[in-house]
Amino acid sequence: MFAFYLEGLVGRRVVEPVLAVLALLLADGVVNDSTILFETVPGPLWVPVIILVPGLLALSVLVGVLAHGIRLGSAVLGSGGRLQPSDTSVTRILASLVLGPFAVFTLWWALATLIVHYLAETGGVSPSIWALLFGGGLGALVSSRAVFFQLFPAGPLSRLRDRSVE
């Protein structure tokens, strides 16, 4: 079971940045009205792509935020050693607090787009633009989080504390 958990964790760490970049590219293509994007992607494939990419990204981020919250909760309750290094850093907690609601909102719009396109026969304007825009914003936040935690694995304050000790 432990090996399965590590494979899932590594898989999410690889898939999440890829989905973030795809969400950014899709949002950029729609906002800038890229004719190359609209001409190369066939119509029946376009709607599932604009629903799945932001939705899967939001779901992946939400799973990570919930796992972080469970680890913090187990540390507070003292029920085990599930805490990973730097889980209690202020920047990790702040990132979870920012990304969590944004991921919920993006997932909400992705599900609304799915309902409008496939379940409810409604007319009018598709809400897919909102899923794309919030997915692009979430993709930008996830990409910046990945870069930030690559530069500062334990948070920027830990580097300041290390220099003051020297």
**Could you write out the three-class secondary structure of the chain?**
CHHHHHHHHHHHHHHHHHHHHHHHHHHHHHHCCCHHHHHHCCHHHHHHHHHHHHHHHHHHHHHHHHHHHHHHHHHHHCCCCCCCCCCCCHHHHHHHHHHHHHHHHHHHHHHHHHHHHHHCCCCCCCCHHHHHHHHHHHHHHHHHHHHHHHHCCCCHHHHHHHHHHC
- pTM equals 0.80
Q: What is the pLDDT of residue 154?
A: 67
Please report, in tens digits, the pLDDT of each residue of the chain (166 residues total): 444 444 455 677 788 888 999 999 888 887 887 666 666 666 667 777 888 899 999 999 999 999 888 888 887 777 766 777 677 778 888 889 999 999 999 999 999 888 887 777 666 667 778 888 999 999 999 999 888 888 877 666 666 665 544 4
Q: What is the pLDDT of residue 2?
A: 43
137 belongs to a structural domain: yes
1 belongs to a structural domain: no
What is the domain count for the chain? 1
9 belongs to a structural domain: no
Q: Which residues span the domain enclosing 73?
A: 14-154
8 belongs to a structural domain: no
Q: What is the pLDDT of residue 112?
A: 87
